[in-house]
Amino acid sequence: MLPSEKLAIAAHLHVLLRRKTGRVTDTEWMAENHAYATEIVRFARKSAAEDGHPDLAEWADKLEQAVLPPSVPRPPPPRAREAGGAPTDPGPESVPAPADLPRYVRGIR
């Protein structure tokens, strides 16, 4: 995967986290540093499970696949998912609607 594609996923997750949880992250560092990316994936999944934001879990999965090589230990899934928490599982119907896409994708205004 190209570095720009990794950066794009990290930026997408950054926007979602800021909007849904108020947490501010470092996009570039997220796309480069495995330890930081691991922590962000863990936090995003936890927020997804606890606060009901399926799109956070979906983009955490994407970041994990894009940035973390298989050799890197994966963050443990949150308890809600371990317990078979179907409500937070991102299904096809939970893909964000176009109006909910992050800002700044096709222009700044």
Partner 1 sequence: MHRIRTEWLLACFLSLAAPAWAQAPAPLTHPALVAQDALNAADTAWMMTSTALVLLMTLPGIALFYGGMVRKKNVLNTMASVVAVAALVSLLWFAVGYSLAFSPGSGWLGGDTRLWFSGMEYLKVAGKVAVSHAAPNVPESVYAMFQLTFAIITAALIVGAVVERMRFSALLWFTGLWSVLVYAPIAHWVWEPGGWLAQMGVLDFAGGSVVHINAGVSGLVCAHVLGARRGYGREPFEPFNLGLTMAGAGLLWVGWFGFNAGSAVAADGRAGLAMAVTHIAAAAAAMSWMLGEWIVRRRPSLLGLCSGLVAGLVAITPAAGFVTPKDALLIGVVAGLACYWGATGLKRLLNTDDSLDVFGVHGIGGIVGALMTGLLANRTISGVHGDVAIQALGVLAVIAYSALMSLALLWLTKVLVGLRVDDDAELTGLDLTQHRERMGT
Separation of CA 36 from chain center? 13
**Nearest one of 108, 107, 102 to 13, comparing CA atoms:** 102
Q: Does 24 bind partner 1 (CB under 8 A)?
A: no
# chain residues binding partner 1, by CB under 8 A: 18
**Nearest one of 56, 58, 63, 64 to 21, comparing CA atoms:** 56
Binding residue (CB under 8 A) for partner 1 from 3, 52, 76, 96: 3
Stretch that binds partner 1, among 2-10, 36-44, 51-59, 73-81 (CB under 8 A): 2-10
Could you give the string, one character per residue 64-103, with x where binding to partner 1 holds by CB under 8 A and - elsewhere?
A: --------------------------------------xx
Q: Which residues contact 9 (CB under 8 A, 6 or more apart)?
A: 31, 59, 62, 63, 66, 67
Contact residues for partner 1, defined by CB under 8 A: 3-4, 7-8, 11-12, 14-15, 27-28, 102-109
